Structure 1
Amino acid sequence: MTQIADPAAPRAASPDEINIRTLVDTFYDRIRRDDMLGPVFDQILAGRWEQHLPKMCDFWSSIVLGTKRYRGNVMQAHMPLQGLRGEHFNRWLYLFLDTVDRLYEPAAAMAFMTPALRIAQSLQLGLFGWDYVLPPEQQVLLARLQNRPARP
């Protein structure tokens, strides 16, 4: 059963299995409705969303709670996606970070934001080559995490 976030609900002080499920359901609901990302995800997940969402709960539970339930290869899972560009990652990050910010208090949100930015960076370098330059918007976000100025 999908657990879309209630906009009036207070933000969570810490991640747990229940609010991770709410995060995943809310975020992917936004992805599915997004004009840019919806078609990209649907090329792989059409008719299989209900199988994908529990995997994403396991993924984020493993990353944030250390449950080690996720069994998969993130890079390999994204290889079949055709036509990906930096703009797709910008949009994914915007939607994800915005959803996290709506659902979690700042300290808890960072538990998701930091790995999300690093995963996006790794995926782009893996998909587009090591000489790929991250879009400026992502460079700024990564620099903030690392407390250093962004490269021009």
Structure 2
Amino acid sequence: MKPDIATRKDIELIMRNFYGNLLSDAEIAYIFIDVAKIDLEKHLPHLADFWEQNILNIGSYRNNVLKIHVDLHELEPLTANHFQIWLRHFNATIDESFSGEKSELMKTRALSIATVMQLKLT
């Protein structure tokens, strides 16, 4: 049986593997590489902060996630297909290494966030 998500290191592993998968998917990688031009090493700690707060209730993440994505959407429209790809990779990445209550919570929260973002961006 796989362990459940329990630490920041678990979240960091998920985020590193998740972005590795996203950046290898031509249907969505260009948004991160060409449009957002993310520096993954600088971006990963912010992602871990966000999910650590949302899943482990630790930390004080304060960035406006919706605003970040609204700004990105203005540069490159984020479509329903982009969100589906994002969620597919997100869920698969969690399922590769983890299982349990926190794992399911993380996937559920990701679906909620993606749904709200899609509604706000239209």
- Structures share a fold, TM > 0.5? yes
Higher Cα Rg, which structure: 1
Q: Give the paired residue count.
A: 118
Instruction: Describe how 1:88-99 pairs up with structure 2 within 5 A.
Output: 88-99=82-93
1:114 aligns with 2:103: no
Deviations 1:24-70 (A, max 9, x none): 10001111111111101121134x22111110000110000011331
Deviations 1:48-97 (A, max 9, x none): 22111110000110000011331200111112221211000000000001
* Matched residue, 1:55: 46
In 1: Cα distance, 2:49 partner to 2:13 partner: 13
Task: Classify the secondary structure of the residue corresponding to 2:60.
Answer: coil
Q: TM-score, normalised by structure 1?
A: 0.72
Higher relative contact order (CA 8 A, sep 6+): 2
Higher helix fraction (1 or 2)? 2
Q: TM-score, normalised by structure 2?
A: 0.89
Instruction: Describe how 1:2-151 pairs up with structure 2 within 5 A.
Output: 11-42=2-33, 43-46=35-38, 48-81=39-72, 82-128=76-122
Deviation at 1:108, TM superposition (A): 3.1
Structure 2 unaligned segments of length 5 or more: list them: none
Runs of 4+ in 1 over 6 A off after TM superposition: none
Structure 1 unaligned segments of length 5 or more: list them: 1-9, 129-152
In 2: Cα distance, 1:14 partner to 1:44 partner: 28
